[in-house]
Amino acid sequence: MEPTILHNSSNTGWIEVICGSMFSGKTEELIRRMKRARIAKQRVEIFKPAMDTRYDDADVVSHDESVITSTPVSSPSQILLLTSDATVIGIDEGQFFDETLVEVVTQLARDGRRVIVAGLDQDYLGQPFEPMPQLMAVAEYVTKLHAICVICGAPANHSQRLTSGDTRLLLGATESYEPRCRRCFSIHPEADIPHDAVGNEPARTPDAGM
């Protein structure tokens, strides 16, 4: 849930983290908060990794096609140079940046800015996806979102990679990933449990999926 915003004379900044699996609505929530800040006539700036060109070279676009204008950057240090007089700063796909993002976001908050970072908290192996865990530790507010498991319909906390390869950073959407719950997630896609076009899971043998 979005934190309650209080106006005060101390100009205190803070950090908000929006995390979760693929297709959980992280970018959509980031866009929603940034648009609300604009409605409130606050000065906003939005940044995304330059490497993320899946839907657009510049704009931040969610999987449900919500769009907001952004500035692509190749490193967190560029964000400090480009924030100008913005009071609300949004950063999408935080997991694509290196760990200096933590220092940059902390500095912005110390300068009295509201900083909102969205990103995956786990990689395709189900391991913490730096620098998101570090950001969650220093943030005042953390919102964890869930998708729906395509196998059983339970809340999905994992991003199941559907393609081969062991590179950690792999851009993709529905052709490369799908949301899975803890029970249906597998770190070995080649041994994955098949399911039909509507996501129904076939009957398991007693030792399957253990």
- The residues carrying an active-site annotation are 93
Q: How far apart are CA 52 and CA 58, in angstroms?
A: 9
Query: What is the DSSP pairing of strand 44-49 with strand 71-73?
Result: parallel
- Where helices occur in 83-210 by DSSP H, the ranges are 100-110, 132-138
Q: How far apart are CA 73 and CA 82, in angstroms?
A: 9
Are 113 and 13 within 8 A, CB to CB?
A: yes
Q: How far apart are CA 85 and CA 87, in angstroms?
A: 6
